[in-house]
Amino acid sequence: EDYQALAELYAIVRRDLDLVPVDHELTAKTKALLRSRTSSSAPTAPEAVRELSLERLQALKNSRLSSLAKIINLRKLLSLTVETKARQEPHLVSIGERAEEVAREYEARHVATQQALDEYEKLAEEYLHASEERQRLGLGSNAFAIYQELRRQVVTASPQQAQALDEAFKRYPDYEWNPSQESHLRAELYRLLYPVCGVTLAVSLASKLLRLERVKEA
């Protein structure tokens, strides 16, 4: 086994991400090798996908990098994408939250490495296809974020239902700081959501929609 490569990867994770409690995985031989054979200079991180595209994601999938190295690349990339683009594309906030949830589950050893990698790849693909889907559906950024949240809870939700919910938000533009507007908007969301998902889910889903970031649209 290539203990040198494992030792270097351990150093990368500890230095940059602290993503997984890798130390528990290391054998005594690997720990000794890490002390005796790795250089004192910082190791070079796995080559990252600098800008996400379908072609580069496929190249990463087909690369000879280990599954853990692929996870590192995808997690860093998704985090950067959300940080830089979420203000213009609010649906990315949910992608970022789910990416962090995968990281927490993986760190707690609730999911295996391959399962975590599969989840990150799905999130990357969701991001890549989102812009095309939004254009196809004819939805604005805010309505599309609502649609994405709806579809995660109710697979039969339609773009028209998301658009109606978005129009409700537009009628109460100061809901974030005006308690009266927030109360009226919440009641309106309940009214629109009841036929879509029933009473119980409507309450929790309305709260999720109220927490969504909204952007100014022309």
The predicted model scores a pTM of: 0.65
> What is the predicted pLDDT for the residue at 17?
46
Measured CA distances, 35 to 28, 30, 204 (Å): 11, 9, 51
Highest mean pLDDT among 50-54, 108-112, 167-171, 196-200: 167-171
In angstroms, the CA 135 to CA 133 distance is 5
Q: Which of 145, 4, 10 is nearest to 68 (CA)?
A: 10
**Which pLDDT band, with edges at 50, 70 and 90, does 51 fall under?**
low
pLDDT digits (tens, 9 = 90+) for 16-46: 444 444 444 444 544 454 455 444 444 444 4
The DSSP result for 132-168, as a single string, is HHHHHHT--HHHHHHHHHHHHH-TT--HHHHHHHHHH
**Which pLDDT band, with edges at 50, 70 and 90, does 15 fall under?**
very low
In angstroms, the CA 55 to CA 172 distance is 42
DSSP code at position 86: T
Higher pLDDT, 18 or 55: 55
Domain ranges of the chain: 1-45, 48-137, 141-211
Residue bearing tokens 């692929």: 70
